[in-house]
Amino acid sequence: MAAEQNSGLQSVPVAEVKIADGFWKDKIEVVRDKTIAHNFMECDTHGRFRNFDRAAGVLGGAWEGKYFFDDSDPYKTIEGAAYVLMQKRDPELEKQIDDIAKRVAAAQMKDGYVDTWYQVKIGIDKRFTQEKDFHETYVAGHLIEAAVAYFEATGKRNLLDIAIKFADCIDHNFGPGKRLDPPGHEEIELALVKLYHVTNEPRYLKLAEWFVAQRGETEGRATNRDYDQDQLPVKEQREIVGHAVRAMYLYCGVADLARITGDKDYFTTMDSIWHDVVDRKMYVTGGIGPSGRNEGFTVAYDLPNDSAYAETCAGIGLGLWNQRLTLMHADGKYADVVERGMYNGILSGISLDGTKFFYVNPLSSRGDHHREAWFDCPCCPPNVERFIASIGERVYAFDANQILVNQFISSDTTVKLAKTAVKLSQRTNYPWDGDVKITVNAEPAEQFLIKVRIPGWCEGASIAVNGQKMEKLDVSNGYASVDRKWGAGDVVEVNFPMPVKRVYADPHVDADVGRVTIGRGPIIYALEGVDNERAVRNLVLPKDAEMTSEFRKDLLGGVTVVKGTATAVMDEDPAHDVKKDFVAVPYYAWDNRSPGQMIVWLAEDRKVAEIPRDANVKISASYVHATLEALDDRLVPKSSVDFNVANFDFWPRKGTTEWVQYDFKEPRTVSSSEVYWFDDTGHGECRVPVSWRLLYKDGEAWKPVEKASEYGVGLNQFNKVTFEAVTTKTVRMEVKLPEKFSAGIFEWRVGK
Ligand code: FUB
Ligand code: ZN
């Protein structure tokens, strides 16, 4: 192990930053009053605690739950609760956690092992044999994180002692000459570093280093996968691949190690991967991992909006990693990424009332995506809980002689520099306005640097010290430095102008070509149907449209909205376009009212606006997996496997005969039909059908159309069939699915 060469900067820990009235205090109070109780209740309902009793042998019955990492949910909920306790102790909450700790302790085996999936369900003889696919070290990692946080919040060792025993058990079983597999789901690495910091036990650091170094090494173990960042040794990795949460947790651990050891190779890896993620693979909301297929990364600039996966946990992981990179590099661009997630794609993961959650965070919706109280795989609810509850540690960083102001959050803290203790009292209405006032009390008075992050989105920031505006800001690496002798009652006033801005995507992102989004300060905006007479996907924001902002105390817990006038496309003919006033709300707050359409990337070019569906046609189907409306949304894909355009499909039905149907308000005469098939070979289970045909209703009787030309199943094109004209109110397409596959449709047209 290399000698310890900590880069010097460290965060002021959560426990030492008291959050004062403002945006984040409100959020933490919701977590404190609602989310924690909700998550514990769901853990209980789904048997998480009873599984510990079964492992302890005090309860019978089968293991309850769904996944092999279910034990991690109570641990993560406890971790979030611990951060809340750091703001204010709460005997009742502590009693609840102490009781859980007792049940976990009772379940723990003599050698420290505790994982109820193996103890109760799979068989303890199998433990540690399938680490690549099951998550014992992941579960252990979350236990350690919870235990460290609870110890730091309360001084209680109950969970910490359990965690230490489990860590020792892992240390005993993994390493040179023992089990060689690195974790299938990273997490233990960063957790062991936390345990090392709290115990000063170098074995934990060494084990974390070994786990990281083992990745990409093949000797003595099974194959390697991109999916869990095992394709290359970490020091040779240059691109982000695979499962997004796994990647982020791994790189958190790597950043922790790099800060301690100063290992240059890790710095090189981090730097290259950071650029790959942030420059090419990150949504404007700070979401990452566009694909549901691997819950992770695909290729550069593949950032579809409707189907964006952008798991809440992945956004959180990106935030946690960038928090560490901020400390490694003292560069504001990393704290910018933290901020992007904090106010957008992470915060969207939780409802305003704190009891419903998004697992995936798309950037547009037809109205069919909603938060849920819990999931079969409920990794996100306690993760967003712990992220919000620990927001305080993102505010300041410091070393011997400087303080970095990274986030703008009303709060009070004391930072101990080498020669003085500095009380900082920050007050702000951020993110709704850009005025930040920091009262500095240094005792004794001392010369040191205060560096204020100038967010990447901001132009024209200004700083005044004791009422005196600084002529020119001394900005480097994203921070404006104020170097002076600080004493009692000095006041730093910062202003970040927050005009409403048009934000554009990198032109390589196909999904956003011809589109624009709205930003104000750190907030990215979305248009929802509920504020805009239902339809927002057909709106075009003219290049010269003026936009204004207004704080609405009554709306969504108090938000600044953006208003303007757009052009609403009514049908193919631009002459029918109309003007429409719109209201945009912060993306994080969408889907807290009546369900409906939502869009972040508005059309700026009329060509990409969605032409509203023909209101006189009702669509139905024998079965719907993916969006029914896609059949008639007038969006033509680039190919039969274009994930940027919504499709309809019958998955997981296979081998059956299914149908889709158009019902017209008034009878229509039709003599042709076109269908564009969806086929996701290589990604999923939809193929072109074995056969298909058209039927129509003649009175109450179904009849096949006559003299039909070929019913085509060509890929990447419309397949047109013509037939003898019929006048009818109902047309049906009957589709015979392949024996082992399903089928899907991008677009179905019926006309003359
Ligand atoms: O596997 C544990 C967690 O469940 C992952 O981090 C999430 O992506 C979900 O798959
Ligand atoms: Zn998750």
Tokens in use for 387? 């992220």
Q: Which residues contact 594 (CB under 8 A, 6 or more apart)?
A: 529, 530
Q: Which atom of ligand 1 is nearest to the CA of 243?
A: 8
Check pocket membership of 313 for ligand 1, CB cut-off 6 A.
Answer: yes
pLDDT of 430 above 80: yes
pLDDT tens digits along 370-389: 999 999 999 999 999 999 99
Write down the pLDDT at residue 367: 87
Distance 635 CA to ligand 1 centre (A): 33
Q: How confident is the model at residue 63 (pLDDT cuts 50, 70, 90)?
A: very high
According to DSSP H, which parts of 174-214 are helical? 188-199, 202-214
Q: How confident is the model at residue 2 (pLDDT cuts 50, 70, 90)?
A: very low
Query: Looking at ligand 1, which residue's alpha carbon is closest to its atom 4?
Result: 379
What integer is the mean pLDDT of 339-345?
Answer: 98
- Contact assessment for residue 407 and residue 393, using Cβ atoms and an 8 Å cutoff: no
The span from the CA of 708 to the CA of 723, in Å, is 4
* Among the ranges given (97-101, 128-132, 476-480), the one the predictor scored with the smallest mean pLDDT: 128-132
Residue located via tokens 């694909």: 291
| Closest ligand to the CA of 242 | 1
Pairing of strands 490-495, 500-503: unpaired
pLDDT tens digits along 640-665: 998 777 899 999 999 999 999 999 99
pLDDT tens digits along 141-154: 999 999 999 999 99
pLDDT of 613 above 90: no
Write down the pLDDT at residue 534: 86
According to DSSP H, which parts of 436-511 are helical? none
The span from the CA of 626 to the CA of 423, in Å, is 55
Q: Is 379 a catalytic residue?
A: yes
SS3 readout for 96-127:
HHHHHHHHHHHHCCCCCCCCHHHHHHHCHHHC
- Contact assessment for residue 537 and residue 364, using Cβ atoms and an 8 Å cutoff: yes
Largest separation between any pair of C-alpha atoms in the chain? 95
Tokens in use for 688? 């072109």
Tokens in use for 281? 């693979």
Write down the pLDDT at residue 7: 55
Q: What percent of the chain has pLDDT over 70?
A: 99
Write down the pLDDT at residue 5: 37
What integer is the mean pLDDT of 563-581?
Answer: 95
Q: Which residues contact 39 (CB under 8 A, 6 or more apart)?
A: 73, 77, 80, 381, 382, 385
Write down the pLDDT at residue 1: 35
Tokens in use for 609? 């606006």
The span from the CA of 529 to the CA of 536, in Å, is 6
Q: How far is CA 597 from CA 5, 148, 350, 366, 666, in A?
A: 52, 43, 19, 4, 27
Question: 89 φ, ψ to 5°?
Answer: -65, 150
Q: Which residues have CB atoms below 5 A from the ion given as ligand 2?
A: 311, 313, 379-380
pLDDT tens digits along 658-684: 999 999 999 999 999 999 999 999 888
Q: Is 295 a catalytic residue?
A: yes
The span from the CA of 408 to the CA of 304, in Å, is 31
- Angle, nearest 10°, between helix axes 244-261 and 188-199? 30
The span from the CA of 525 to the CA of 82, in Å, is 32
DSSP tag of 454: -
Q: Which residues contact 497 (CB under 8 A, 6 or more apart)?
A: 434, 458, 459, 460, 461
| Closest ligand to the CA of 387 | 2
pLDDT tens digits along 246-278: 999 999 999 999 999 999 999 999 999 999 999
Residue 234's region, left for phi above 0, alpha for psi from -120 to 50, else beta, is: alpha
Tokens in use for 293? 């297929």
